Amino acid sequence: MITDVRSGNVIFDSRDRDLLGHQNSEAEPLGPAQIEQLVHPDDRVLYRAHNAQASMIRDEKILKHRYRMLHADGSWRWIQRELVPFRRDKSGSVIEILGVLRDVTDEAAAEEQLSHDALHDELTELPNRALLLDRLKAALSRSAREQRQVAVLFCDLDGFKIVNDTGGHAVGDTLLVEAAERLRHVLREGDTVARVGGDEFVLVVEPWHRSRPAEKTTNEVDDQKIGVEVARRIVAAFAAPFIVADVDYEVTVSVGVAFADFRDRSVTDSSHASKVIDDADAAMYIAKNEGKNRIHVAERKEAAA
C-alpha cells in the first residue's frame, strides 16, 4: 500500500484483503481511523509511534514492526509491516510511504513457544532455573526498595526415588506433575514456584500485597512469619498420598527456608539470588538429616556493612 504521510490516507493498495479475510476487491482503501480501529488496543500506541517515524525514514532505511490486527473471523493476526520512502517533496521530505504487509501469526507463535520452552520446565510447565533467577533478582531489587524480606524455599521430595524404582519413570513423571500442582495451590498470585532438578522445587515468596503490621519495626518478623507459614502449608499439602494408576504413594517434602536481608548491600547484586537459593538448599539438607518431612530455617548471617 501507498500512504500519504500528512493525512494518513491510503492512496493505493493491492485491493487484496486476504490478510484480514475481506475479499471485496472493489472496496475503497481504508482511512487512517478505520485502519487503527482494526489494530489491537494494546498495540495502537506503538502503531502510532511507527507512523510518526515513517516521515523521517532515510532512503536506505526499512522501518519494520509487528502489531496485531482484527481478522474477519474475530481472531487477532500478527502483521509485519515494512515501510520505505516512496515519494518526497522538493525539499526532500517524505510525503508518501510504501508499505508491505505480511501475516506472520505462525512465525510469532513459533517464536513465543521457543521463548516459553527456554524458560520453562518441559514436564511441569513451571519456570526453570533461568526464569527463577530473573524473577528472584527482580524480587530482591524490590525488597531493597521496600525494606522487606523475600523468602526462598527449597523443596526436595522425600521417597521419590522409591516411586521411580517401583512404579517406573512414567509414574514418577505423573507424580511430579501433581506435586507441581500442589505447590502452585499453596502460593498466591505473584509468587513463583520453579522446578530446578529431578524432584527439587524452589519457591519465591514475596511479602507485598500481604498483611503488613502497623509498627515498621516488626516488618522483618512479619515477613519471616509469612515465609515459614508457606513452608508449613507445603508440608501439609504433601500429607495426603499421591494416587497414580490406583496405587497410593507416600511422598513427603523437606523444605529449607532462607531470607534475603534487604540490609545487605549485596542484595541487588546478580550473584545474590544464587546465594540465597544455595542457603535455602543447605537448610533443606538439614531438614533431611533431621528426619525429613519438615522445614528448617537457615540461620541469618549478619548483613554486610
**pLDDT tens sequence across 140-166:** 988 888 888 899 999 999 999 999 999
Picking from 67, 92, 111, the residue at the C-terminal end of a domain is 111
Residue stretches of the chain with pLDDT short of 70: 15-18, 23-30, 209-221, 265, 267-268, 300-305
In this structure, what C-alpha cell is assigned to residue 143? 525488597
Residue 70 lies in a domain: yes
Query: What cell does 153 get?
Result: 524455599
CATH number at residue 181: 3.30.70.270
In a domain, 292, yes or no: yes
Establish if 225 belongs to a structural domain: yes
Residue 304 within a domain: no
Residue 116 lies in a domain: no
> What's the CATH code of the domain at 45?
3.30.450.20
Q: How many CB atoms lie within 10 A of CB 147?
A: 12
C-alpha cell of 139?
Answer: 524480587
Same domain, 224 and 172: yes
Residue-level pLDDT at 128: 96
Task: Please check whether residues 101 and 127 belong to one and the same domain.
Answer: no
Are residues 43 and 65 located together in one domain of the fold?
yes
Residues 156 and 238 reside in one and the same domain:
yes
Shared domain check, 104 and 169: no
Residues 287 and 263 in one domain: yes
User: In the chain, count of helices (H) and strands (E)?
Assistant: 8, 12
For residue 2, give the C-alpha cell. 501507498
Cβ–Cβ < 8 Å for 95, 88? yes
Query: Among candidates 240, 269, 265, 270, which has minimal Cα distance to 252?
Result: 240
Catalytic residue status for 199:
yes
Same-domain check for residues 281 and 134: yes
Residues 101 and 148 in one domain: no
Domain residue limits at 271: 121-297
Q: Which cell numbers in the block locate residue 20?
A: 484480514
Of the residues 111, 142, 162, the one at which a domain ends: 111
126 shares a domain with 103? no
Residues 91 and 146 in one domain: no
Let me know if residue 233 belongs to a domain.
yes
d(CA 101, CA 82): 7
Q: Within this chain, do residues 282 and 144 fall inside the same structural domain, yes or no? A: yes
Of the candidates 213, 165, 171, 206, which has an alpha carbon nearest to the alpha carbon of residue 187? 206
Residue-level pLDDT at 23: 67
Does residue 303 lie in a domain region? no
Please give the pLDDT value at position 48.
87
pLDDT score, position 112: 85
Residue 185 burial (C-beta neighbours within 10 Å; 0-12, 13-18, 19+): exposed
Domains contained in the chain, number: 2
- Choosing from 59, 88, 111, the residue where a domain stops is 111
List 191, 199, 261, 281, catalytic entry: 199
Residue 215 burial by CB count (10 A; 0-12/13-18/19+): exposed, middle or buried? Answer: exposed
How, if at all, do strands 94-103 and 2-4 pair? antiparallel
Q: Residue 37: phi, psi to the nearest 5?
A: -65, -25
Q: Are residues 144 and 238 in the same domain?
A: yes
In a domain, 302, yes or no: no
What pLDDT is stored for residue 79 in this prediction? 92
